[in-house]
Chain A
Amino acid sequence: MTILLKLFGELREKVKSQKDTSGAPITLTIEKKGIKTVSDILKKFGIEESETSHIFVDGIYSGFGKLVNDGDRVAIFPKRMCLLYKWYFNKVEND
């Protein structure tokens, strides 16, 4: 019962105290227990909603209320990486 979490840009520093200079995203396998939505993941890592931009749950462009299922891959990008054809996307929310 796990979720694959990927953190990009400065959100990597939420996990590593030292600045990462590899340029690679942080990939974590986290327990599904206690996590229902994207918001729960943000809370778990002390990430404010305002610090994020694009969130993908298994490739689906998602909002904070998107339900997260066992085995999902969740990717979270920081605020300043909001570089996307955002008008092609509609955030999927469950709440």
Chain B
Amino acid sequence: MPKKILRVDMSKLEVKFEDFPSEYAALGGRGLTSTIVSKEVPPDCHPLGPNNKLVFAPGIVTGSAAPTSGRISVGGKSPLTGGIKEANAGTSFSQLLGRLRIAAIIIEGLKKDKDYYLLKVTNDGAELINANKWSGIGLYKAYEQLRKEFGEKVAISGTGIAGELLGAGSGVCFNDLEGLPSRYAGRGGLGAVMASKGLKFIVVDETGAPGVEIADQEIFRAGTKKLRDALMSHDVTKPGGALASYGTDVLINIINEAQGLPQRNFSAGQDDRSANVSGEKKAEEIKKRGGTRPHPCSPGCVIQCSEIWTKPGGKDPVGVLEYESVWSLGPNCSIYDLDDVGELNRACNDLGLDTIEAGDTIAVAMEGGLIEFGDAKGALKLMDEIRKKTATGRILANGTAFTGRAFGVTRVPVVKGQSMPAYDPRAIKGIGVTYATTPMGADHTAGYAIATEIMGVGGQADPRDPKKSELSRNLQLATAVVDSTGYCLFTAFAVLDIPEGLEGMVESVNGVLGANLTVDDIGKIGMQIIEIELEFNRKAGFTKKHDRLPEFLRKEPSPPSNEVFDVPDDELDKVFGA
């Protein structure tokens, strides 16, 4: 049984399966979502109108025995940035689609009436079922009820109350292994696109699924073994390594020492209270209160950076508290208590909000005087405004830039309308170049992976040296490829240092596709994907003037480094320019 595309027309409430076009055969994940969006979505369309589409695509190896490869890409035109968007998450949802041989689900059309629908996908087909009873309900309760109704083995994607408000800060939610709504393709407001089409949930049951087709089992097995060996032996990715021990939140103390952990809406880069919300602190707390750490986001992950954070006494599980979420809802709001951060993260998961966008939004609302910095209870009340769908809630659900305008704030940390993650671009300038130039809007993951060594670029750079265009470009190209394979970006830590691991990764892709790719092809394939995305953005009206950081980051020094973002405009334009 060959791969297929599931196309869902929400205007007509029709579902159909199509053959997977041969020209897409080597595509998966981000490469596939961005290709479909560029072919089928007019760049000048309204992101919440009938001509936008929402595309779900598992990675090339996702659903197979390849380790740490449970990523799903979600693509469309972003209501937050107005440009193309790919957001991704690690979840069993992706693996189930892979094993059902569904290369992509394309959601098109527009909400027909007041009704919301649930798309049920099984090996026998797909159907739309009325889902009105879950409208206005928090996702924790909804996911629990859905698992009761459809069985505990199903995987679920959903949009929350923030999506129902068509808020540009809403994400697309996926289940974790406990069925909690805690894994998000969060960025760019794609939850609003989903809700605009009247689609509330997708429920996938893999019973009877044929599994991922492997063109060459021998190459695939040899490749995945090399990759697994690399992951099992590297200090960051191995069992008992940094990510398993502390999770991504291990970065709190590290970036605080680099003077690049933004505090109080990007007013400083270091505060010793940040240690109270560090990965080390959280790991000890989880042990004491009976949560779970480490924990895989999806079956087959060697790294296991995830966890289950709970209230004291091991009650009311939230899911994972990631570094970015802890930072945005914590130090960036002058909040330094893990229980406060945990409850704010729970509210985001429940409402269907991207945690980075939500935290930056709260910090800007604090600067605008809506509540005081450090007021965690006040921040939770702001989340309730969204739940109650009040006018204030509607402003907040639309994200950081919108909230900044509404409350007269000029220090608004966004690029292309999307808020910045947990690295101050004044102290760590390379990430600032990525924030400025990625087609995604301010996004750390866009330039996260694969060291300069692999791409054949000499040397490493000083974080405070403003010449960063080549470094950022190569990171962005490599990331686009990893995001297409289905492998988690964190595999990069191991394959950077262990060349056999990278070879194994490429061989595993060859094994699935029956292709002959080499490590040297990574840059070229990455450029093809990014070029598709840049072209979409150009047609949507973006120019190099949009590849800039906000004025306050260029003018206002960040203590204690007292650096400003001083990368010249022509250096930014060199990233993808002539």
Contact = CB atoms under 8 A, between A and B. Distances in A.
B279 to A, nearest CB: 8
Nearest to B288: A21
Contacts of A75: 253, 257
A30 to B, nearest CB: 17
Contacts of A54: 254, 257
How many chain A residues sit at the interface, stated as a range, is 20 to 34
- Name which of B250, B429, B430, B459 has the most chain A CB atoms within 10 A of its CB: B250
Interface string B442-486: 000000100110000001111101000001000100000000000
Contacts of B462: 89-90, 92
A82 B235 contact: yes
A25 B253 contact: yes
Interface string B545-578: 0000000000000001100000000000000000
Interface in B376-429: 423, 427-429
B242 A81 contact: yes
Interface in A46-93: 53-54, 56, 58-59, 61, 75, 77, 79-90, 92
A53 B258 CA distance: 13
A23 B254 contact: no
B503 interface: no
A59 B269 CA distance: 10
B251 A59 contact: no
B95 to A, nearest CB: 25
A25 B245 CA distance: 16
B280 interface: yes
A40 to B, nearest CB: 19
B475 A21 contact: no
Contacts, number: 102
B235 A88 contact: no
A74 to B, nearest CB: 9
Given A59-B561, A81-B250, A90 B280 contact: no
B476 to A, nearest CB: 12
- Name which of A23, A75, A80 has the most chain B CB atoms within 10 A of its CB: A23
Interface string A1-33: 000001011000000000001111100000000
Contact of B282 (A23, A80, A89): A23
B275 interface: yes
Contact of B475 (A22, A79, A87): A87
- Name which of B251, B258, B282, B427 has the most chain A CB atoms within 10 A of its CB: B258
A56 B32 CA distance: 41
A90 B254 CA distance: 15
Contacts of A79: 235
B254 A61 contact: no
B12 to A, nearest CB: 47
Interface in B204-234: none
B241 interface: yes
Contacts of A9: 280
Contacts of B287: 21
B236 A85 contact: no
Contacts of A88: 428-431, 460-461, 463, 471
B339 to A, nearest CB: 14
Contacts of A77: 253-254, 257
B301 interface: no
A86 B454 CA distance: 13
A84 B423 CA distance: 11
Given A85-B430, A89-B461, 18 more contacts: A23-B284, A24-B276, A25-B253, A54-B254, A54-B257, A56-B257, A80-B241, A80-B245, A81-B246, A83-B242, A83-B251, A84-B254, A86-B460, A87-B430, A88-B471, A89-B463, A90-B460, A90-B465
Interface of B: 235-236, 240-243, 245-246, 250-251, 253-254, 257-259, 269-270, 275-276, 278, 280-285, 287-288, 423, 427-431, 448, 451-452, 459-463, 465, 471, 475, 493, 560-561
6 contacts: A24-B280, A24-B281, A59-B259, A80-B245, A84-B251, A90-B461
Interface of A: 6, 8-9, 21-25, 53-54, 56, 58-59, 61, 75, 77, 79-90, 92
